[in-house]
A and B are shown apart, each in its own frame.
Chain A
Amino acid sequence: MDKLKIGGTKLDSRLFIGTGKYSSNDILPKVIDSSKSQVITMALRRVNLDSPKENILNYINKNCILLPNTSGARNAEEAVRIARLAKAAGCGNWIKIEAISDNKYLLPDNYETIKAIDILAKEDFVVLPYMNPDLMDAKRMVDAGASAIMPLGSPIGTNRGIRTEEMIQILIDEIDIPIVVDAGIGKPSQAAQAMEMGADAVLVNTAIASSSDPVMMGDAFRNAVIAGRKAYLAKLGSVKKFASASSPLTGFLQGDE
């Protein structure tokens, strides 16, 4: 498969996975292996360097890129502070901005997110913002220095699939940096759908973590993402809105030059 380039790094896998919601950290290396994911996101608030058992960093293959997120941040200021703490804790310089001030739906606050990108990009972070799919805000994020854009498919944890399809398609068509569909993807078929649409990658957590066999589900998502990407590259046949009549309706015009 063609490689994905984010912040100067080339990636073979277009499936990012999360580490929250698992029944135990022990399963993580197996899920990372079966999904072949190279970008692993985790909440800095959960990183516990004092406990080898709880220290999520011990479960993530050294070749993977850590994508700490700023979960818990309600505004730009808190997101920036968490990002800096993540870097200081040795999590590298990739950061997923989550600025969420709505505890009911967990919808991202684009305005605060843009402010955080502006600060962190100048500090040499590779910034990936989680966002509500809005074209103008996405453009502002690009201008502020985002390395990729992570629009939500549907509210986080809902497994409802890509309800924001039209908006995401607009971002895919109009934004020149990678688009990673984040949140809401509940089934491999929905991951394939995002990839067929032309998304550059997807991030999946709940759908894998809450399945009965997360290892097998990781593999299923890996395959779905590959299939979707290949379909996109092969260019899907165009969808026809009107059937082509076998006897053309305008055939009588032929020869009428």
Chain B
Amino acid sequence: MSFYNEYLKYKDFDFDSFFKNTTDEDILNTINKDKLDKFDFLRLLSPTAEKHLEQMAAKSNKLSLQHFGKSIILYTPMYLANHCSNKCAYCSFNVENDIDRKQLTLEEVEIEAKNISKTGLKHILILTGESKSKTPISYIKDCVKVLKKYFDSICIEIYPLEEDEYKELISAGVDSLTIYQEVYNEDIYDKVHIAGPKKNYRFRLDAPERGCKSKMRSIGIGCLLGLYDFRIEAFMTGLHGYYLQSKYLDVSISFSLPRIRPHVGSFMDLHDVNDKNLVQIMLALKLFMPYAGINISTRESESFRENLIPLGVTKLSAGVCTEVGGHSQSNKSSSQFEISDTRSVSEVAISLERKGYQPIFKDWVHI
């Protein structure tokens, strides 16, 4: 079994008629339910549900307080390298793009770590482009060894791995995995992943499950909003999370909702996802899986991120640079995409406190 079987069940589903047949009453009944099934979730993603966002928000706020309280975990990404062997139409790191390529030495990793840890953050997300030859597992492991001295939780966002490779990284000190499918629609996936190992849809789709099997503590998934119809993509993302959570009860699942940002790439056939759409996705996910985390990145603007907080956000990145060496070096490389919220860690923390939320710098211990 794999999530692919689940994907296939809904691949040719008639979403249009389902949405057309969804009434206001259906939405209100769904909001009032204690437990939502997959079709309830889909109803909440319908155009009809757009009229009921306020009621959805009220419930989402309540569920979020119940499950997570008034606390938001902060973390920051650290780019280790931007080498990439793939040709993704939507990304600046694309192997064919003429950008400065860079990879941190272990000494540079240590300097970055020291600089980031001055902000008080204890959670770090390490990223690479997807080049297994330039940034092999052994390199990631060496970096983790350095980072362990400074951080309590280390999350990886790198090329998909085999189960044993994930295990290797866990024993080195990694506890969490983030991996985005980018787009669940297999045809679009094939179209935007022009060349490189990332073309292998199934290998990527099953990566989160391999992470679960390897005993990662938490796993973040998501799609890159804008590559295809957001309602269907959000549905598939939620189903994927639900599939993983039901099968691997011990893993904590979280969702990220990145919207495509300006980049050095070429792909322009975008599906617009406006603020209201993003809010709807987030609320539908929260009502469907209240125990799952929700992560909003700095792709979103400061004010928008602030407004999303009471709707169920559990994790925020702060003090973000998407360049390799961005936390310490003056000759930074090209960034993966433009960020929108450029606030420092302390600025984000202060604004959370002002909103009546507690910024959490540490929520894990190495065990």
Point out the residue from B67, B245, B250 that lies within 8 Å of A157, measured CB to CB: B67
CB within 8 Å for A158 and B66 given contacts A103-B249, A103-B250: yes
Scan B343-367; emit 1 where CB is below 8 A from any A CB, else 0: 0000000000100111011111101
Complex Cα distance, B252 from A127, in Å, reads 26
In the assembled complex, A51 has its CB within 8 A of some CB on chain B:
yes
Point out the residue from A20, A54, A101 that lies within 8 Å of B362, measured CB to CB: A54
Which of the segments A70-78, A170-178, A194-202, A244-252 contacts the partner chain? A70-78
CB within 8 Å for A23 and B358 given contacts A82-B365, A206-B66: yes
Scan A35-51; emit 1 where CB is below 8 A from any B CB, else 0: 00000000011111011
Please give me the residue from chain B that is nearest to A54 by CB atom. B361
Check if B360 sits within 8 Å of A21, measured CB to CB.
no
Q: Which of A46, A74, A104 counts the most chain B CB atoms within 10 A?
A: A104
Check if B69 sits within 8 Å of A206, measured CB to CB.
yes
Scan A197-232; emit 1 where CB is below 8 A from any B CB, else 0: 000000000100110000000000000000000000
Please report whether the interface of chain A is mostly helix, strand, loop or mixed according to DSSP.
loop
Check if A22 sits within 8 Å of B70, measured CB to CB.
yes
Size category of the A interface is 20 to 34
In the assembled complex, A81 has its CB within 8 A of some CB on chain B:
yes
**A48-107 contacts to B (CB < 8 Å):** 48, 50-51, 54, 72-74, 78, 81-82, 85, 101-104, 106
Check if A82 sits within 8 Å of B367, measured CB to CB.
yes
Least CB distance from B354 to A in Å reads 11
Check if B367 sits within 8 Å of A46, measured CB to CB.
no
In the assembled complex, A159 has its CB within 8 A of some CB on chain B:
yes
Check if B69 sits within 8 Å of A48, measured CB to CB.
no
In the assembled complex, B253 has its CB within 8 A of some CB on chain A:
yes
In the assembled complex, A25 has its CB within 8 A of some CB on chain B:
yes
Please give me the residue from chain B that is nearest to A74 by CB atom. B250
In the assembled complex, B65 has its CB within 8 A of some CB on chain A:
yes
Residues of B within 8 A of A20 (CB): 69, 71
Complex Cα distance, B251 from A101, in Å, reads 8
Residues of A within 8 A of B68 (CB): 21
Complex Cα distance, B361 from A72, in Å, reads 16
CB within 8 Å for A210 and B69 given contacts A82-B367, A101-B250, A103-B245: yes
Residues of A within 8 A of B213 (CB): none
In the assembled complex, B217 has its CB within 8 A of some CB on chain A:
yes
Check if A23 sits within 8 Å of B67, measured CB to CB.
no
Point out the residue from A21, A102, A206 that lies within 8 Å of B249, measured CB to CB: A102
Check if B120 sits within 8 Å of A51, measured CB to CB.
yes
Please give me the residue from chain B that is nearest to A43 by CB atom. B363
Residues of A within 8 A of B253 (CB): 103
In the assembled complex, B201 has its CB within 8 A of some CB on chain A:
no
Least CB distance from A63 to B in Å reads 25
Complex Cα distance, B366 from A85, in Å, reads 9
Scan B202-238; emit 1 where CB is below 8 A from any A CB, else 0: 0000000000000001000000000000000000000
Point out the residue from B65, B217, B250, B363 that lies within 8 Å of A46, measured CB to CB: B363
Residues of A within 8 A of B356 (CB): 23-24
Residues of A within 8 A of B67 (CB): 157
Least CB distance from A109 to B in Å reads 9
Please, could you name 26 A-B residue pairs with CB atoms under 8 Å apart, sorted by A? A21-B65, A23-B71, A23-B357, A24-B356, A45-B152, A45-B362, A46-B363, A47-B362, A48-B361, A54-B361, A72-B364, A72-B365, A72-B367, A74-B217, A74-B250, A82-B365, A82-B367, A85-B367, A101-B250, A103-B251, A104-B246, A104-B291, A158-B66, A206-B66, A206-B69, A210-B69
For the complex with contacts A46-B360, A54-B120, 19 further pairs of A-B residues with Cβ separation under 8 Å are: A21-B65, A21-B71, A22-B70, A22-B358, A23-B70, A23-B356, A24-B353, A25-B358, A46-B363, A47-B365, A72-B364, A74-B250, A85-B365, A103-B245, A103-B250, A103-B252, A103-B291, A104-B291, A157-B67
